[in-house]
Chain A
Amino acid sequence: MDSRQAAAHLPRSFWTLAALTVTWWSLAPGLYFLFSGVVAWGTLLSAVGVVSLLITLSRPILHKLEARTVYRPLALLFVAVVLVMALAEVWTAISFAPGTAYPPGVVGFHAALLLVSGAATAMQLRQARGRA
């Protein structure tokens, strides 16, 4: 595929949802791990989550992202990876968490919201393609 043909502008709603997904993915478990004493993962995920939250809340950054031309298959890959990894986390909640200190319900809830936000992001991408 010619990269010029695959280039596209993505709407602000896509960027907001994508940033929100990354925020929820990293900040929620990051803080949970920090309070559970898992410092390394907690710090890493929390730091990523804070940066992502800033992007989510920053109008100027979202405005710049909206004006930016991106490679559409990369956006598609982002959505696909979000959905696949969210399913992997659902599986973690079912198979891993019961034998550990982590409540399966908490892990499952986190993964379920990721699936929802991933699906919403995918819909935004589809709508953007329809408009293009």
Chain B
Amino acid sequence: MPHTKTQARIGLVILILVSLIAVPLATGILAPSTAAYAQIDFTPNVSTLVVTPTPQGATIGPLIRHAGDRFQCVGLGGVIGGTECRPELVAIHGDDLFGWGEIVGYPGLMLAWITDETGTHFLVVSADDPQLTGVAGGDSFMELMELRLAEVDGTNKRVPEVVGSAAGPVVIIGGLLLLCPETAGVTCVIAGLTAAAAGVGNIIRNAILNSQAQDRIKELEQGLIGRFHQMELTIVNP
């Protein structure tokens, strides 16, 4: 029996040593990614643009072949604002709400889209339009999209990290329950509490980062809407 207890104690010591590495890893404390997201400091200067609502009577439907064509989809029941009529693109950079892509069969034409309270708006833009690809100050549509995608990607990574941060302490305390000798109970409880505190701390950290990211995403989307309307004004009413 003493031999068994000695083995159990050795096992416990090893487990605690492993926990010292595993807890920070499992809870993402050592991960550089989320810290990097927090360092993005971006203030779009598109807010000063004159934003005019899209005039009514825009082309509706997929028959778009020229820079300046703009349209909204008309779904079943006459519902305007979906993405069903979006023409086929070589690749989609973005999602259903905001994005751009080269139109298949039209190498010089890009399709850009934004979503506001009236639905999703599409605009055909020349591939070399500086407002689409790059402007002084770095607030082109593509650049704003890249920043938005990075923020959305960072937010997507936070869900697994929070789930992992919650699972980590449960698994560690479960392991302690399996291996911990009764005589080392207090030590094991302290180790378990440490793991739980690390997990809770990381969940709170992710919540703060997530809140900041949501604010930045909203800010970037406002910038995208502003840039989109300015492209409309420049191309359609030069």
* A associates with B: yes
A81:B196 contact, CB within 8 angstroms: yes
The one of A26, A73, A86 that contacts B171, using a Cβ cutoff of 8 Å: A26
| Given known contacts A85-B199, A96-B158, A99-B155, A22 and B174 CB-to-CB distance under 8 angstroms | yes
| B25 smallest CB distance to A (angstroms) | 9
| Given known contacts A44-B164, A85-B166, A101-B156, A74 and B200 CB-to-CB distance under 8 angstroms | no
Cβ-based interface call for B217 (8 A) = yes
| List of B residues within 8 angstroms of A95 by Cβ | 207, 210
Q: How many residues of B contact A (CB 8 A)?
A: 41
| Given known contacts A70-B177, A74-B180, A48 and B171 CB-to-CB distance under 8 angstroms | yes
A80 to B188, CA, bound (A): 15
The one of A18, A77, A86, A99 that contacts B217, using a Cβ cutoff of 8 Å: A99
| Given known contacts A3-B185, A74-B192, A18 and B174 CB-to-CB distance under 8 angstroms | yes
| List of A residues within 8 angstroms of B182 by Cβ | 3-4, 6-7, 69-71
Q: How many residues of A contact B (CB 8 A)?
A: 45
| B207 smallest CB distance to A (angstroms) | 7
| List of A residues within 8 angstroms of B125 by Cβ | none
| List of B residues within 8 angstroms of A19 by Cβ | 174
| Given known contacts A74-B189, A107-B159, A84 and B210 CB-to-CB distance under 8 angstroms | no
Show the binding face of A for B, using Cβ within 8 Å: 3-4, 6-7, 18-19, 21-22, 25-26, 29, 33, 38, 41-42, 44-45, 48, 52, 65, 69-71, 73-75, 77-78, 81-82, 84-86, 88-89, 92, 95-97, 99-102, 107, 110
Other than the given A92-B159, A100-B158, 8 more pairs (CB < 8 A) read A3-B185, A71-B188, A84-B196, A85-B167, A88-B162, A95-B207, A99-B214, A107-B163
